[in-house]
Structure 1
Amino acid sequence: MWPVRQPVTPVHREGQKTFGYWGPHTSSIDWCEDNYVNLPYIAETWNTFSNIPYMLLGLHGVLLTQGLPHRARFALLHAGVALIGVGSFIFHATLNWYAQVFLDELPMIYVSTLCLYVILMAGKDAWWKRLVAPALVMLALAVTVIYFWYPNPVFHQLSYAFIQFLTTARNYVLLQTVPPSVRKQCHRILWSGAITFLLGFAIWNVDNQFCDTLTQYRGHYGDVVGALTQGHAWWHVLTGIGGSRIVVGVTYLALCVEDPDGYEIGTSLGCMPYVRAKAKVSHKKAE
């Protein structure tokens, strides 16, 4: 393991176990879920298993990119959503600092950077597009090195916000170039994803602000209430859904910029959107 220049002080909630099956808890955050309550191998049960929607939705997206042009970049973007879920699963199961940084926090930066790449590469060819890939690789590497040596969560949050700002700005520019019907569909799916994401963020903050009260409430009313009131677990579920929808919206916009009439949004099981090519209708000449 690489040493960190600035030591990270582990954070432990009062009364919580600081050591488990995977060793000491070295993470800089201890979430509002009691440790090792349900399983001996999982530090935070609900914060761990609530990452499964991330994995399933990411896999769903990968499988349904078949037949799309530039499939590799779209499939990789959906795979990134699944990998965020895997990384977060491992982190919350172990509460290990290296898992927190390299499997949970930095993958958020990498997937966001890939999303920015996809939307920057959409549209007509231009000389500056040859610089996009190396510039974004350098950006991701710079964030990685700085955050590893100086693990300040504010830096991570600002880096993530900066990438999201660039992506949103590029989305806005491209939305002005597509037909109104495509623009409406893009707005619908992108906004629904963003609102779901923000709802998860709001619930998580309630968890942070009222952790002591919620902990007492959970202990009084039993395991079912305890599971349903895990705000960070709901953050995982809702951001998995919202993030997946945003990726579908970006994919649809990127493809429709090149061929506005060639693609549409479909759904699996009535609730999981994906992008597909429109069926071509053959017109037979009247005899």
Structure 2
Amino acid sequence: MADGISSFWGPVTSTTEWCEKNYVYSSYIAEFYNTISNIPGILLGLIGLITALRQRFEKRFSVLHISNMILAIGSMLFHATLQHVQQQSDETPMVWEMLLYIYILYSPDWHYRSTMPTFLFLYGAAFAIVHSQVRFGIGFKVHYVILCLLCIPRMYKYYIHTNDASAKRLAKLYVGTILLGSLCWLCDRLFCKEISSWPINPQGHALWHVLMGFNSYFANTFLMFCRAQQLGWAPRVVHFVGLFPYVKIQKPKTQ
């Protein structure tokens, strides 16, 4: 904790702290950079939501963008307070979001349409209940990584069956941001003692938040392109103000 600044939220009760000094800039924000670095994720989720609604994509994509925003808000609450309850508001949406990705990736080939969403919903609800009662440490991280790994085979399948160069670039940006973000996360976690002695802390976990905000946006946009292609909506990747890629579609007149 920084000298001269007290904690509004009281003692730290979360099971995890990161390589950033607490309450340096405000008594209301424990980890300042780890908190504000979630703002890009919220804004990118909002851009994706507006795109999905304006072009009348399937509701699953609106829910996906909203879940990205909820996750970023939960992460802000966690890093601002370092309280166990707020930690759950970060970690539980992480699992829910991955379950939603699994649904979107695998549902086109699922023959029993009601079975998969029912199972994923019950799994997510059961996890939330257990997570509210049990303090997970490394177990949560292993569980989350397993859910992420389940998505890779289908993402790769979509990539190799997509001929559009712009869509493939989205997939490459998705891979690049998650690899770079993971490197920042690991360095912040494993080398905190060394980093703390540097004149300037590079804020690896905050960089992870920023990169994962873009990572989710690239993943969502790529999945929207693939789904629109499956539905025959003639998708193409265009750019808003020359920067932010999004999917523009042309639905058949009968739709």
Quick check: TM above 0.5? yes
User: Are residue 148 (structure 1) and residue 132 (structure 2) matched?
Assistant: yes
Which residue number corresponds to residue 133 of structure 1?
117
Residue identity matched to 2:108: A
Give the structure 2 partner of residue 270 of structure 1: 242
Structure 2 residues without counterparts, runs of 5 or longer: none
Residues 153 and 268 of structure 1, relative CA distance in 2, 3 Å threshold: farther
Alpha-carbon offset, residue 86 of structure 1 = 0.7
1:247 deviates by 1.4
**Could you tell me how far apart the structure 2 residues matched to 1:71 and 1:23 are?**
44
Distance in 1 (alpha carbons) for counterparts of 2:157 and 2:113? 16
Question: Could you say which residue in structure 2 is the equivalent of 1:4?
Answer: none
Aligned to 1:57: 44
Is 1:31 the equivalent of 2:18? yes
Counterpart among 68, 71, 78 of residue 65 in structure 2: 78
Deviation at residue 16 of structure 1 after TM alignment:
9.0
Q: TM-score scaled to structure 1, two decimals?
A: 0.79
The amino acid that maps onto 2:219 is I
Query: Out of 167, 182, 185, which is 1:204 matched to?
Result: 185
Q: For residue 92 of structure 2, what is the aligned residue in structure 1?
A: 106
Q: Secondary structure at the match of 1:64?
A: helix
Q: How many pairs are equivalent?
A: 252
Cα contact 1:120–1:132 (8 A) shared by 2 = no
Note if 1:190 corresponds to 2:161. Answer: no
Instruction: Give the greater-gyration-radius structure (CA).
Output: 1
Q: Deviations over 1:2-32 (max 9, x none)?
A: xxxxxxxxxxx9x999971022210111211
The 8 Å contact of residues 19 and 25 in structure 1, kept in 2 or not, is answered as no
2:155 is matched with: 171
Partner of 1:20: helix, strand, or coil? Answer: coil
Q: 2: CA distance between counterparts of 1:175 and 1:204?
A: 26
Structure 1's consecutive aligned runs of 4 or more residues displaced over 6 angstroms after TM superposition are 15-19
* Corresponding residue for residue 249 of structure 1: 222
C-alpha contact 2:228 2:249 (8 A) present in aligned 1: no
Q: Secondary structure of 1:266's match?
A: strand
Aligned residue for 1:59, secondary structure, equals helix
Q: What's the CA shift for 1:279?
A: 8.8
Q: Distance in 1 between matches of 2:6 and 2:243?
A: 41
**SS of the residue aligned with 2:120?**
helix
Q: Do the aligned residues in 2 keep the contact of 1:147 with 1:156 (CA within 8 Å)?
A: no
Stretch deviating more after TM superposition (241-250 or 138-147): 138-147
Deviates further, 128-137 or 206-215: 206-215
Paired residues of 1:263 and 1:277 also in contact (CA < 8 A)? yes
Q: Distance in 1 between matches of 2:72 and 2:25?
A: 20
Q: Is the 8 A contact 1:87 1:104 kept in 2?
A: yes
Query: What is the CA–CA distance in structure 1 between the aligned matches of 2:65 and 2:93, rounded to whole Å?
Result: 13
* Mapped contact 1:174–1:257 kept (Cα < 8 A): no
Give the unaligned 5+ runs of structure 1.
1-12, 219-224, 281-287
CA contact (8 A) 1:196 1:239 kept: yes
Q: Distance in 2 between matches of 1:32 and 1:255?
A: 42
Cα distance change of structure 1 residues 87 and 32 upon mapping to structure 2, 3 Å threshold: same
Question: 1:106 corresponds to which letter in structure 2?
Answer: T
